[in-house]
């Protein structure tokens, strides 16, 4: 982690502590901060935790960037990127440069959020016993989720080569309080990063309550379980992925929305974790790029006939689009100030269906029953049988544009057009600024 990252982390921490997230304009850069003095009380720790949530809501993270990066990297002309931002166009064309500022900011903002979570975890002893488990669990969820997203983008897929030797991303598990040579980290292996992710999320599941009084914008036990299901699925640990998804469904905390359209409202009962957006705070990058100009979007990502024809003619999801000036846009993100969905219950049904199918088991329900539960909610015709291919297609139809495309291509060893899942240009480069500053970092192949 280089000086650029560290200074950003310190600035972020100083902002949280000194201004309680309310005034970021008067903060001066600093090379060190006395974290013991800065986080002296439970209120200080809570403020820093709020800052960690603010960090992951950034436009380059769960505010939309992680999702549209995953979709554009994995796209095979199912959409056309027609915008003027060359950084996103590079994602879509798979011609990413090491100077791409969106790549740089995803790295920087991810480590900023991690550092804030690290500060919470380093000071959780200052929290009273009534709230300590929840606060620690939330910080671990944030850190585990961020490392999972970083390793998927900047490291090889878990099924590509040898995870125990493939370079991942640097693991930083303590607060960055001062800049020293020790902060010029090397890249941990893919396997080491996944081990840390699972450690954080498993502990988060144990510590977190089933619900948070503040709502679905805060991590819960179900959010940790759902993220674990994603991690295990990416590792091809099918039994653990199945069981984690089953715990979410069996809890009864969440339920499928009454319609497909209702699943993309702020009040949707199937939202497991989301980024809360208001007209005062937060940004919905999915609306910005996927939304048409009629709904305050830029109209940059245009859905092609090729993709829409994947839906059955009687499937309402195939009509969940808007045409503007002969260009077609998804209706999933039409609200400029709508909350940004990160994980939905429908995905857990499809994880359980896929893993049960692969394992020839029926934990919780049969694969057919789970797929039909999702299709019934959408109003699509029910199926009489399913295969693994059917289930994978259902994932594509249900979760389109929500960020899972490149991860799915990689874990099933598929292709993006004629580009194999293991191609160098389907992995983001380490930002050039990081390479130039920290000589211990090794660039990804192909860059």
**Residue 265 and residue 338: Cα distance in Å, rounded?**
7
What is the per-residue pLDDT for 299? 97
Decide: helix, strand or coil at residue 298.
Answer: coil
Question: How high is the pLDDT of residue 29?
Answer: 39
Give the CA-trace dihedral at 188, 189, 192, 198, to 10 degrees. 110
CB-CB contact of 195 with 237 (8 Å): no
Closest CA to 168 of 187, 196, 186: 187
Tell me the C-alpha distance between 68 and 287, whole Å: 11
Q: Using only the alpha carbons of the chain, give its radius of gyration.
A: 21
| Tokens standing for residue 301 | 């990502």
Cα 404 to Cα 341, 360, 393, 407: the distances in Å are 12, 24, 13, 5
* pLDDT at residue 6 in the model: 39
CA distance 121 to 326: 51
Per-residue pLDDT of the chain (447 residues; tens, 9 = 90+): 444 343 444 334 433 433 334 333 333 333 344 544 579 999 999 999 999 999 999 999 999 999 999 999 999 999 999 999 999 999 999 999 999 999 999 999 999 999 999 999 999 999 999 999 999 999 999 999 999 999 999 999 999 999 999 999 999 999 987 667 777 899 999 999 999 999 999 999 999 999 998 888 999 999 999 999 999 999 999 999 999 999 999 999 999 999 999 999 999 999 999 999 988 888 899 999 999 999 999 999 999 999 999 999 999 999 999 999 999 999 999 999 999 999 999 999 999 999 999 999 999 999 999 999 999 999 999 999 999 999 999 999 999 999 999 999 999 999 999 999 999 999 999 999 999 999 999 999 999
Domain boundaries, the chain: 1-75+98-206+404-440, 209-219+239-399
Q: What is the pLDDT of residue 22?
A: 38
Which numeric CATH code is attached to 209-219+239-399? 1.25.40.390
What is the structure's pLDDT at 179? Answer: 61
Q: Is 1-75+98-206+404-440 a CATH 1.25.40.390 domain?
A: yes
Residue tagged 């699509």 (tokens)? 380
Q: What is the predicted pLDDT for the residue at 37?
A: 58
Same fold, 1-75+98-206+404-440 and 209-219+239-399: yes
- pLDDT, position 354: 99
Q: What pLDDT is recorded for position 316?
A: 98
- So what's the pLDDT on residue 20? 39
Sign of the torsion angle spanned by Cα atoms 38, 124, 220, 248: positive
What is the helix, strand, coil percentage profile of the chain, to 5?
Answer: 50, 5, 40
Collapse the DSSP code of 419 into the 3-class scheme (helix H, G, I; strand E, B; otherwise coil) and give the result.
strand
> DSSP of 197-250, one letter per residue?
HHHHHHHHHHHS-S--TT-TTS--HHHHHHHHHHHHHHTT-HHHHHHHHHHHHH
Burial of 418 (0-12, 13-18, 19+ CB in 10 A): exposed
């Amino acid at each position: 982690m280089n000086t650029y990252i560290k200074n950003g982390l310190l600035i972020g921490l100083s902002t949280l502590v000194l201004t309680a997230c309310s005034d970021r304009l008067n903060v001066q850069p600093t090379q060190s901060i006395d974290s013991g003095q800065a986080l002296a009380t439970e209120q200080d720790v809570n403020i820093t935790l709020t800052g960690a949530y603010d960090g992951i809501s950034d436009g380059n993270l769960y505010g939309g960037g992680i999702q549209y990066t995953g979709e554009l990297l994995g796209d095979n002309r199912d959409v056309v990127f027609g915008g003027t931002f060359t950084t996103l166009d590079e994602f879509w064309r798979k011609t990413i440069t090491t100077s791409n500022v969106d790549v740089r900011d995803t790295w920087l903002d991810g480590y900023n959020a991690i550092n804030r979570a690290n500060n919470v975890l380093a000071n959780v002893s200052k929290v009273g016993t009534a709230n300590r488990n929840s606060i620690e669990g939330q910080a671990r969820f944030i850190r585990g989720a961020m490392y999972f997203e970083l390793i998927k983008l900047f490291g090889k897929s878990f099924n590509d080569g040898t995870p125990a030797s493939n370079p991942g991303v640097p693991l930083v598990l303590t607060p960055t309080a001062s800049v020293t040579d020790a902060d010029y980290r090397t890249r941990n292996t893919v396997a080491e990063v996944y081990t840390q992710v699972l450690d954080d999320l498993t502990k988060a599941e144990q510590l977190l309550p089933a619900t948070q009084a503040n709502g679905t914008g805060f991590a819960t036990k179900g959010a940790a379980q759902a993220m674990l299901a994603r991690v295990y699925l990416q590792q091809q640990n099918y039994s653990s992925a199945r069981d984690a998804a089953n715990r979410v469904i069996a809890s009864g905390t969440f339920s499928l929305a009454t319609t497909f359209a209702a699943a993309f409202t702020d009040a949707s009962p199937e939202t497991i974790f989301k980024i809360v957006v208001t007209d005062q705070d937060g940004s919905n990058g999915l609306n910005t790029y996927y939304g048409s100009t009629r709904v305050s979007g830029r109209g940059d990502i245009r859905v092609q006939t090729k993709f829409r024809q994947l839906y059955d003619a009687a499937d309402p999801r195939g009509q969940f689009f808007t045409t503007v000036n002969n260009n077609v846009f998804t209706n999933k993100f039409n609200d400029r100030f709508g909350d940004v969905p990160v994980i939905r219950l429908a995905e857990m049904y499809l994880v359980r269906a896929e893993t049960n199918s692969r394992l020839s088991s029926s934990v919780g329900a049969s694969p057919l029953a789970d797929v039909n539960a999702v299709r019934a909610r959408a109003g699509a015709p029910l199926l009489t049988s399913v295969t693994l291919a059917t289930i994978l297609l259902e994932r594509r139809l249900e979760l389109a544009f929500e960020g899972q495309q490149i991860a799915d291509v990689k874990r099933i060893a598929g292709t993006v057009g004629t580009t194999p899942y293991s191609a160098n240009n389907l992995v983001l480069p380490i930002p050039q600024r990081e390479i130039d500053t920290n000589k211990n970092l090794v660039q990804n192949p192909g860059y």
